[in-house]
């Protein structure tokens, strides 16, 4: 969890230097980071990146972790698992503090799929909706 928090803090710091950093890229890379933590079995970090996790009970967090594990198992069964995640694009709505990150999942069976990850900004941190 510390590693994810530190990475997000660095990304947020880079965003504050708006001249050299594309905010949309930061959003997309944040979404990618969340999903990569899921693939690596760091379920608590993935769940920590969910907006619905904020202020949730321990029981609810446990259910979110169970759902994440089921999702991965389903992907293994149907498509041979997720081998890699790549950033395609992101679009930000600055007024509403929301964004859509577009990722490509490449599966073990050789197929790929573009995935939309809706994001919301809470206190300077991008979370998955």
Confidence of residue 56 (pLDDT cuts 50, 70, 90): confident
Confidence of residue 105 (pLDDT cuts 50, 70, 90): very high
Confidence of residue 103 (pLDDT cuts 50, 70, 90): very high
Number of domains within the chain: 1
Residue 19: strand, helix, or coil:
coil
Strands (E) located in 1-129: 82-93, 98-107, 112-122, 125-128
Query: Mean pLDDT of all residues in the chain?
Result: 90
Beta bridge partners of 102: 89, 116
Residue 111's CATH number: 3.10.450.50
**Alpha-carbon distance 37 to 46, whole Å?**
6
Flag whether pLDDT at 10 surpasses 60: no
Query: Quick one: which H or E segment has residue 107?
Result: strand 98-107
10 against 52, higher pLDDT: 52
Beta bridge partners of 99: 92, 119
Domain that holds residue 115: 2-128
Confidence of residue 6 (pLDDT cuts 50, 70, 90): low
């Amino acid at each position: 969890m510390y590693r994810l928090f530190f990475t997000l803090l660095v990304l947020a710091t880079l965003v504050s230097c708006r001249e050299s950093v594309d905010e949309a890229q930061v959003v997309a890379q944040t979404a990618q980071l969340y999903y990569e933590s899921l693939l690596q079995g760091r379920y608590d970090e993935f769940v920590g990146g969910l907006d619905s996790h904020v202020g949730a009970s321990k029981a609810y967090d446990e259910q979110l972790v169970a759902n994440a594990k089921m999702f991965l198992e389903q992907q293994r069964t149907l498509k041979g698992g997720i081998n890699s995640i790549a950033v395609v694009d992101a679009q930000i709505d600055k007024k509403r503090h929301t964004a859509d990150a577009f990722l490509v999942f490449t599966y073990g069976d050789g197929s790929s799929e573009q995935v939309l990850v809706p994001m919301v900004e809470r206190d300077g941190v991008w979370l998955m909706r």
